[in-house]
Structures are given as structure tokens and as C-alpha cells.
Amino acid sequence: MKRVFLFLVAVSISAASFAQTKWTVDPAHSFVNFSVRHMGISFVDGIFQKFDGTVTAAKADLTDAKINFTVDVNSISTTVAQRDKHLKSDDFFNAETYPAMTFASTGFKKLDQNNYELSGKLTIRDVTKDVKFNVVYGGTATAQGATKAGFSATTTINRLDYNIKYDPTGAGIGKDVKITLNLEFTQAK
């Protein structure tokens, strides 16, 4: 009987050690931002207002994290309605045909204490490309009975790689788009 009890305790500890922890994005405390050069002299900034994401990991340092993220293209906002309508058109995102951008991680490498390199597949329109984000882990905190984790992630993509062919010279609208994600996740209970 004692052996059976010890075996059950060992199995329980092993299962707990390998239990997956799931985190979901808190949209009230998260932001999906982008910035692109305009006419070579300034920048146009914008946000996506609707998005969803999850992080699933078993290791405390998150090096085994699986990250999935979806952005609703129709939620784009640059604070200029006419420009937002144009960005949703086939010249840019073609939101009617491709209503979502998606990201699925392929790796989350710890570089030092709070810095990571996130690798994954970014899909915009009908094109999927490998991308890498520089990630800063802000830490965790508990408030009102919920555990939260914060991250900032940045990357730069070439919009022409994703069949966004409007102004292919980049003279009016730059080719490079800087993406900045400031994300807060809530741990599932």
C-alpha cells in the first residue's frame, strides 16, 4: 500500500511539473501598433483595435512557449477614416477576402534575463513568412486574484513581401513597417 501511495505521489508531481499553463491576451491592457514612413520625411502610426492571442508553456522560463495571435484587419485605425478605408481595400490588406492576420510561433529563445527572440510564421493576405520579434518580458504581477504577465515585442517587415503592392517604389509609403506589440496576458485558472 505504501508503494502505491508513493507511486501516486510521484505521478502527481510529474504531471504537475509538465502541466501546461495557458495565458490569454487582456485586450484592455494590450496594444498592437504599427508605424510606416510617409514621403520619406515623417511617419504614419496606426493600431489594430481587435485581436486575440494565447501563450501556452510548461517551463517557468517560457522557452517552450507556443504563441498564437490573430488580428482583425477591419479594426485598423490611423485616426483618418478615408485612409483606414483605403488600407482595408485590395491596395493593401484586402480585408474582405483576408479579414485576419495570424502569427504562430516556432520558437521562443531566451537571450538573457528578460530578453527573448520569438520566431514564427506571420500570415498577411495570402502570404506566410518567417519573422523574428525582439521580446522584452516585463514580469508578472497578481491583482484582484488574477496573475498577469507583460511583454513588449518589436519587429520590422517589408510590406511588399506580403503582396501589399501599393506604391512599390516606397516613395510615398515606405516599404518597411515597424510593428510594436505591448501585451498583457492573464493566466488561466
Taking only the tens place, the pLDDT of each residue in 145-187 is 999 999 999 999 999 999 998 999 999 999 999 999 999 999 9
Q: Give pTM, 2 decimals.
A: 0.87
79 φ/ψ angles, rounded to the nearest 5 degrees: 70, 10
Give the model's confidence band at 6: pLDDT under 50 very low, under 70 low, under 90 confident, else very high. very low
β-strand pairing of 76-77 with 66-72: unpaired
Q: Could you tell me the domains of the chain? A: 20-187 (2.40.128.110)
- pLDDT tens-digit profile of 13-51? 333 334 689 999 999 999 999 999 999 999 999 999 999
The three cell numbers locating residue 35: 508605424
Per DSSP (E only), the strands in 26-160 are 31-38, 42-48, 51-57, 66-72, 76-77, 100-110, 115-124, 127-143, 146-158
- Of residues 12 and 54, more confidently modeled: 54
